[in-house]
Structure 1
Amino acid sequence: MPENRTPTAARGRKAGRRHPLASIALIAIGLLFTGGAYAAFSTSTASAETDMASQQTIEEGKKLFAANCATCHGMGAEGSEDGPSLIGVGAASVDFQVGTGRMPLQMQGPQAEQKPVQFTDEQTAALAAWVASLAPGPAIPEGELLDGEGDTANGAELFRINCAMCHNVAGAGGALTEGKFAPSLSGVSAKHIYEAMVTGPQNMPVFNDMNIKPEDKRDVITYLKYLDNNPSPGGIDLGSIGPVSEGLFLWIFGLGSIVALTVWITAKSN
C-alpha cells in the first residue's frame, strides 16, 4: 500500500535540503576569517618588531650620548654651564649638528666650527632618536620637501628677504659680529638646509612653519641647488661676496695695471 505523504511533510523535507552553494559559502567565510586573523597577527608582530627596533636604537643613542655628549649637555641632556639643554630640540637639530661635524664641539669659541663628521649615519640616527624621545621637537625632514623641484623664483625671493643679509644673496656666507659668521651654503645637502631653517643653529633664527611654510622652504632649497648647478654667467665670481671684492679687484688689478702701463710707457719714451 503506497505511503501517504502530507503536503506539510513534503515542504519540511524540501526546506531541510542544503543549497548547492552552501559549501562554497562556508569555505569562503572560513577563508575570510582565517585571512583576517593572519593579517591581524602579522600586523601586530611587525608592529612589535618595529617598536623593539626603535627601542634598541634609542638605547644605543643613549649610550653614545653618555660617552660623547654628556660632559657638556648633562647625562639627561638637561644642559650645563658648558652646553645648552637639548630637551625639545628634536631629531632635526641633532641630525644637523652631528651630521655636519659641528658636534661634538672641537673647542669653545664664538660658534661651532664645521669639521669632519665623527659618527656614522646609523650612530647619528641613534643619537637623534634618543634626544627626540625626551620631548617633542622638529623631526628629520624627508620626501618631496628635499627634491629640489620647487619654485626657483619664489625661493630666490624668500632667500633675499630672509637670508641674504647674513648668507649673501648668492649663499656665499659672510662675517657677523664678535667673531661669528654665516657659513657658505654651497654644496650643503638639502636635508641639512631644511634642518637649519627649522632649528636655528648657532646665530641663525628659527624659521618654523608659521614663518616660512614647508613648501616655501622647499623653494628656498631649490634656489640654492640652482646656484650650485649654474656657475656665474659673468665668468670669475670672485667668491660671490659682492661689490667689496669686485671693487678691490678693480683697484688692485685694474688701477695697478694702468699705473704699470703708464710707468712702462714713460720709461720707454725716456
Structure 2
Amino acid sequence: MAREKKHRSRGRRSPFAAAALIGAGLLLTGGVYAGASAAMASTTDAQTSVTTELTAADGQKLFTANCATCHGMDLQGTKEGPSLVGVGELAVEFQMSTGRMPLQMQGPQAPQKHPQFTEAQIRAVASYVQSVAPGPTYPDSWVTEGKPNPDDSSDEVSLAKGAELFRVNCAMCHNVAAAGGALTEGKYAPALTSTSALHMYAAMVTGPQNMPVFGDMNLSTQDKRDIIAALVFQQNEVQVGGFTLGSLGPVSEGLFIWIFGIGALVALTVWITAKSN
C-alpha cells in the first residue's frame, strides 16, 4: 500500500504583509537617522561651545596660519599685503566679517563675500592684533544699537540730521539712496542697503580701501550715530508707490517712462497705421 506523501500546507500571504514590511523598514531607517542626527548635533554644540572660548592666543595661531603670508609674522606687512600696525581690532573684524579678508585674488578692490571664519575666530584674531598693535576698538553699544548715551541724558537720534550729513559727506560715492556707485580704475563704493550698524561705524572710523577716515574733527560720535540711524531707518523703510527703480529719483523714473511709456506709444502708433492700411 503506497504511503501518502504529506504536503506542507502553504497558507496565502496576507496582502498587508508587504506594507507592514515596508513600514518596519522605514521606522528602522528613521530611528537610525534620528540617532545619527542627534549625535551630530551634540558634537556641533560641543564644538560651538569650544569656539566661543577662543582667546588672543588662539587668534595668533589663526593669524599665523591664514594671514601672516601677506601681512607678515610681526604684522609689519609684506609686498603682498599692508602693515596692520595701528589698524586695531575694529578694522580686523570689519575686513574678516564681510569676507573681504582673506583676499580672494589681487584686484582693484577686495570684494565682499561670505566670511571664511566663525564669529568667535574673527574676534580672536582681532583680539590678537589689538594686543600686539592697538588701534580703533569696538564702540559703545549706544552708538550702533540706538541706546541713549549714559553720559548724556538729553541725547537723541536725529534722522533728519543724519540724512543731511550722509548727503553732504557720503552720497557722492555711495549714492544718495545708499545704493553704491562706481569709482575710478575699477573701484566702487559698496551699497549700504544691508550693511550692519557696526560695520557702518567701522568703515567711518577705519577708512577701508577707498573710504576716507572720518575722525571726530570731521564727524563727531553723535554725527556718526545720526548717519547710522538714518541708514538703518532707510533699510527698514516700507517702500510705497510701486516699483522703487533703485530709489534713484527722477533720472531712473524718466528713463523708465522714456523706454517703456514712449516706446509703447510708438508701437501703438505703428500698429494703428498698419491696421488702417
* TM-score, structure 1 as length reference: 0.76
Q: Deviations over 1:182-205 (max 9, x none)?
A: 110011111111101100111000
Matching of residue 175 in structure 1 with residue 177 in structure 2: no
Alignment of 1:42-191 (within 5 A): 57-148=55-146, 150-191=157-198
Alignment of 1:30-41 (within 5 A): none
- Higher share in helix: 1
Q: Which runs of 5+ in 1 are unaligned?
A: 1-55
Measured after TM superposition, the shift of residue 69 of structure 1 is 0.7
Change (3 A) 1:224 1:148: farther
Measured after TM superposition, the shift of residue 245 of structure 1 is 3.1
Give the distance between the partners of 2:102 and 2:227, measured in 1 at CA. 28
Q: Partner letter of residue 78 of structure 1? A: Q
Give the distance between the partners of 1:73 and 1:236, measured in 2 at CA. 46
Aligned length: 216
Contact kept? 1:198, 1:206, Cα under 8 Å: yes
The alignment's C-alpha RMSD in Å is: 1.7
Secondary structure in 1 matching 2:167: helix
| Larger Rg computed on CA atoms | 1
Change (3 A) 1:233 1:70: same
Give the distance between the partners of 1:241 and 1:192, measured in 2 at CA. 24
Measured after TM superposition, the shift of residue 212 of structure 1 is 0.8
Greater shift, 241-250 or 173-182, is seen at: 241-250
2:206 maps to what in 1?
A: 199
Q: Which runs of 5+ in 2 are unaligned?
A: 1-53, 148-156
Measured after TM superposition, the shift of residue 244 of structure 1 is 4.2
Secondary structure in 1 matching 2:116: coil
Contact kept? 1:142, 1:191, Cα under 8 Å: no
| Residue of structure 1 aligned with 2:253, choices 216, 238, 246 | 246
Contact kept? 1:58, 1:126, Cα under 8 Å: yes
| Residue of structure 2 aligned with 1:265, choices 243, 255, 272 | 272
Contact kept? 1:100, 1:115, Cα under 8 Å: yes
